[in-house]
A and B are shown apart, each in its own frame.
Chain A
Amino acid sequence: MKSEPSVRETLPEGLTPDRLRDMYYFMILTRLCDDRGFALNRQGKIPFAATCQGHEAIQVAAAFALRRGTDWIVPYYRDTCMALSFGVTPREQLMCLFARKADVFSSGRQFPNHYSVPDRNIASISSIIAAHVTHAVGMALAHKMRKQDAVVLTSFGEGSTSEGEWHEALNFAGIHKLPIVFLCENNEYAISVPQSMQMAVKNVADRAVAYGLPGVICDGTDPIASYVTVREAVDRARAGGGATLVEAKCYRAMSHTTDDNQLTYRTPDEIEAVKKRDPVPRFEAWLADRGYINESAAADLKTRALAEVNEATDWAEMQPSPTPEDLYTHVYAEGPLS
Chain B
Amino acid sequence: MAVKNLLEAVRETLHDALARDDRVFILGEDVGARGNVFLITKDFLEEFGRDRILDTPLAEASIIGVAIGAAMAGLRPIAEIQFADFIYPAYSQIVGEAAKIRYRSAGGNTCPLVIRTPYGGGVGGALSHSVSIEALFYHVPGLKVLAPSTPSDAKGLLNAAIDDEDPVLFLEHKKTYRSIKGEVPDGKHTVPIGKADIARPGRDLSVITYGLMRHFAVQAAEELIKDGIDVEVLDLRSIRPMDRDAILTTATKTRKVLIVHEDNKFGGVGAEISAIIAEEALFELDAPVRRLCGPDVPAMGYSKVYEEAFMPSPERIAAAMRDLAAF
| Interface of A toward B, CB cutoff 8 Å | 72, 74, 103-107, 109-110, 114, 116-118, 123-124, 126, 128, 131, 133-143, 145-146, 164-165, 168-169, 171-172, 175, 329-333, 336-338
Contact = CB atoms under 8 A, between A and B. Distances in A.
A121 to B, nearest CB: 10
Contacts of A337: 141, 144, 194, 240-241
B70 A142 contact: yes
Among A114, A145, A169, A175: residue with most chain B CB under 10 A: A145
B67 A138 contact: yes
16 contacts: A124-B108, A124-B109, A128-B92, A135-B72, A138-B70, A139-B69, A141-B66, A146-B75, A168-B62, A171-B57, A172-B57, A172-B66, A330-B105, A332-B165, A333-B165, A337-B194
Contact of A145 (B51, B56, B62): B51
Contacts of A136: 69
B86 to A, nearest CB: 14
A7 to B, nearest CB: 35
A110 B70 CA distance: 22
B65 A135 contact: yes
A169 B96 contact: no
Contacts of A117: 108
B104 A109 contact: yes
B75 A145 contact: yes
Interface string B69-89: 111111101000000000001
Contacts of A331: 102-103, 141-142
Given A134-B68, A138-B70, A106 B166 contact: no
A137 to B, nearest CB: 5
B96 A171 contact: no
B4 interface: no
Contacts of B241: 337-338
Contacts of B51: 145
Nearest to B59: A168
B279 to A, nearest CB: 12
B50 to A, nearest CB: 10
A320 B194 CA distance: 36
B169 interface: no
> From DSSP, what is the main secondary structure of chain B's interface residues?
mixed
B104 A116 contact: yes
B170 to A, nearest CB: 16
B310 interface: no
A126 B62 contact: no
A93 B261 CA distance: 49
B272 to A, nearest CB: 9
A138 B104 contact: no
A139 B62 contact: no
Given A114-B104, A123-B109, A165 B57 contact: no
Contacts of B74: 142
Contacts of B242: 338
Contacts of B287: none
Interface string B216-250: 00000000000000000000000011101000000
Contacts of A171: 57, 59, 62
A321 to B, nearest CB: 14
A175 B54 CA distance: 12
Contacts of B71: 138
B49 to A, nearest CB: 10
B274 interface: no
Contact of B25 (A72, A133, A145): A145
B96 A131 contact: yes
Given A109-B103, A165-B61, A331-B102, A116 B92 contact: no
Contacts of A172: 56-57, 59, 62, 66
Contact of A104 (B61, B77, B108): B108
A165 B61 CA distance: 7
Contact of A165 (B56, B62, B107): B62
Interface in B19-68: 25, 51-52, 56-57, 59, 61-62, 64-68
